[in-house]
Structures are given as structure tokens and as C-alpha cells.
Copies of this chain bind each other. A is one copy, B any other.
Amino acid sequence: MEAPNILREDLPFPLGVLRASVLERNLTRFQQFSEAAGVLLCPHAKTTMAPALFRRQLAAGSWGLTFANGAQVRAARAHGVPRIFYANELVGAADIRFVAAELRRDPEFEFYCLADSVAGVRLLAERIAALGPEGPGRPVSVLVEGGLAGARCGVRDVATAVEVAEAIRAAAPHLALAGVEGFEGLARARDGGDREVIVREFLAFLAAIATALDERDLFDRPEVLLTAGGSALFDLVIDVLTRTRLSRPTQVMLRSGCYLSEDWGLYRRALADLHQRTGSAAPDLEPALEVWAQVLSVPEPGLLILSAGRRDFGQDAGNPIALTHVRRGADERRSLLDAGWTMAAASDQHAHMAVPPDHGAAVGDLVALGPSHPCTTFDKWRTLYLVDDDYTVTEEVPTFF
């Protein structure tokens, strides 16, 4: 059977679409950039939860993949991910049972998780100990998480970090201290200050934690893992963390997840900032993710109703923008980037587009939307479609959210 084509209406709308050529370029460019910077890449895979993309990332050279809850770890293991960075505190009894069983079952499986409190470390160690012969059979690698005041998890000061690391040491042989972690993406400029300054301060705090733990000889691995880095500020992470010197070798790891698909909002702006900060030394990344919908109604002269809504794209970083218009039955793709189409509102299944009087669209036409944030758009789809530059489907991409 001929491969389905989006523009020919072979599939029902709305559709979540990934442009294969763009994705491949982003994959290669970000991997090359990481290698040139001498850092490991362990992309946050909660963004896509798509094994077809996991495989591409690992094949391209990713050190491992990052996940953030137990359901994600189960999906990753079910699809053969060999090295998991769990960018979260490991607390739940069912999750600890699962991770322990996987570590015992598969000697090749590597797993790292975070801790930010003595209570959390003791609970984790106690729960592992209680598993007895059902335990992991080897120490679980734990990183101390550093956090920002008023933000999320993570110790707020070096003294607490030392207490947490000492608790990890005391929990041997169940736990082993592997490094220091933080997420600089939560740093917000306060009182009109400069965000870069706050982020650098936070990264210096992570380095200070690493130094304090190193001075007390609390690390349990030959190399110390230092990791931060979402998709917006990784240049600063590389700059600060690769300059951190300890008594033993360090390895800096980025966890950027959105480089693969990029977007038309949040990370597009972040990328522009990155290029400005680095004098274009940051990789060129392009948006690969589109949501295709159909014009259902033109109920008023300046209003189009499309067949995609908040069940189909995220709005947490702003509404999607209008990218492309294809007249029903036609091949020609018209760019809408400067056409003055804006999304006025969205309901569950509909987007309400405010359009100029000469919009030229009719019922049955196709419209591509560019989401503002991949994380909250990927998770709307059980299957996305990888397409070539003519929008013929080259692969179905199931997700496991």
C-alpha cells in the first residue's frame, strides 16, 4: 500500500507531525555540539516518550536518557533503554521495587537517581534493604540535588548537601554517591535582575556542593558526574560546570530534551538568546513539530474554526502560531508566518483563528500550526507521524505517556 500523505487527507485530522529532515539535522547538530564541548548528552526523554526517537538519540551517541517518574522508567525499560538518569527523587515503594528488580535482572542496566533530604535517603535505603533477596544486588547510584529557594526539589545550602551525602555514605552498600545535579531552568530573574547572573550563581552553587562533598571524600565512584542543563541555558552549564575542578575526574552531562523537535515559542526564543550570548556558537536548531488541522467552519468574515484544540497542542507557553495553509485538493503550501493569522482561543477540540478579511481559506482546507512548547504537545498524541518534505508518512511514532 502506498504510504499515506498528510496533504492528500489519507489520515484523519488533527495530526501531530514531525518533519524527518529537520529532526535528523537537530539530532546531528546537538550531538556534535555536545561532543565538541566535551560533555555527555543524556536527553530528557519525557519530552517525547517516543521509543522511535529514543533509538535515534542513543544511536546518534547519547550517553543515556533522562526520565522523571516511575511510569516513564517502566516505558523506557520496556523499550530497552540501557542507561537511565532519573531526574527526580526516588521515593515510591512500587518504583523502588521496579528499579531494584531491573538492576538485579539486567547487569548491563545503569540507573542514577537524585536525593535532596536525609529523610529521603533513609527512606530509599530502608526500602531497598527491606527487599532483601529481591533487592538490586548492587548499590544504587544517587546524586545530590541542588535546588533554588522558592522553586522545586533540591537542597538550598551546602551544609544540607553534606548531610544528605553523609546519609548516602551511611546507607552503603545500598546507595553510592555518584555526583551533583541541578536544574537551572527554574532560575528566574528577580527584581528586574539579569537571569544569566542568577543561573551562573546557581551553577556555582552546584560546583560548591561538589567541592564540599569532594573535600569530605564522600563520592563513591571513580568519576564525579556533574549535571544540569535543560534546552535553554546549556551554554552556561557547560561554561561553569566544565571549569569545576575536584580531586578526582569529573564528567559534565547535559540533559536537554527539546533540541530534537524545538518549537515555535519557548525554545525558539531561548535559542535566539543562546545565539546572542554565544556569538552563534550554539547549534542551529529548527522546529520539527507541527499540528495539522482542517478548516471546519468560516462562521464570520474574520474567524476560522480549525479541527485541533487544547487536546492537541499545549498552551502553557502561549498558543501555537499559524504556519502553513493548503487549499483543499491543492499541493501548494502557502506560508502563514506573515499572514496575520492568530489563534484567538482554543477549546478542547477547536482552534479559533482570527484572520484578515482576505484570508483565502475555505471549509476543508488544511492548516499547520506551530506549537509553542514541545513537552505539552507531544503528550497529546499516542501516535505522531514522521513525514518527508512532501508530507508523506515515513514512520509512525508511538508515544508512551
Please report A residues at the B interface, Cβ cutoff 8 Å. 9-14, 46, 68-71, 74, 88-89, 91-95, 98, 116-117, 119-120, 123, 147, 149-156, 186, 294-300, 303, 305, 307, 310-311, 316, 328, 347-350, 352, 362-364, 375-376, 379-380, 382, 401
Contacts and interface: CB of A to CB of B under 8 A. Distances in A.
Contact of A91 (B46, B95, B151, B363): B363
Contacts of A310: 316, 376
Residue with the greatest number of chain B CB neighbours at <10 A, chosen from A9, A10, A98, A298: A9
Contacts of A307: 69, 88, 91-92
B70 A13 contact: yes
Contacts of A117: 297-299, 363
Nearest to A71: B12
A94 B4 CA distance: 11
Residue with the greatest number of chain B CB neighbours at <10 A, chosen from A299, A300, A349: A299
Given A152-B305, A155-B299, A363-B117, A94 B9 contact: yes
A88 B300 contact: no
A115 to B, nearest CB: 9
A116 B379 contact: no
Contact of A94 (B12, B71, B186): B12
A123 to B, nearest CB: 5
B92 A12 contact: yes
B10 A69 contact: no
Nearest to A328: B123
Given A13-B95, A88-B307, A152-B297, 14 more contacts: A10-B94, A12-B71, A12-B94, A14-B69, A68-B348, A68-B349, A69-B349, A91-B295, A120-B364, A123-B363, A156-B300, A310-B376, A311-B401, A348-B376
Contacts of A94: 9-13
A363 B120 contact: yes
A296 B68 contact: no
Given A117-B363, A297-B117, A150 B303 contact: yes
A349 B91 CA distance: 14
A300 B149 contact: yes
29 contacts: A12-B95, A12-B98, A13-B95, A14-B69, A46-B311, A46-B348, A68-B348, A69-B307, A88-B296, A89-B296, A91-B294, A91-B296, A91-B307, A91-B364, A116-B297, A123-B363, A150-B303, A151-B352, A152-B305, A152-B347, A152-B350, A152-B352, A153-B297, A153-B305, A155-B299, A156-B299, A311-B401, A348-B375, A379-B380
A131 to B, nearest CB: 14
A162 to B, nearest CB: 16
Residue with the greatest number of chain B CB neighbours at <10 A, chosen from A93, A147, A310, A328: A93
B154 A299 contact: yes
A395 to B, nearest CB: 19
Contacts of A9: 92-94
A352 B186 CA distance: 12
Nearest to A94: B12
A300 B154 CA distance: 10
A146 to B, nearest CB: 10
Given A153-B305, A305-B153, A89 B297 contact: yes
Nearest to A366: B92
A256 to B, nearest CB: 15
Contact of A297 (B14, B70, B120, B363): B120
A188 to B, nearest CB: 11
A305 B153 CA distance: 7
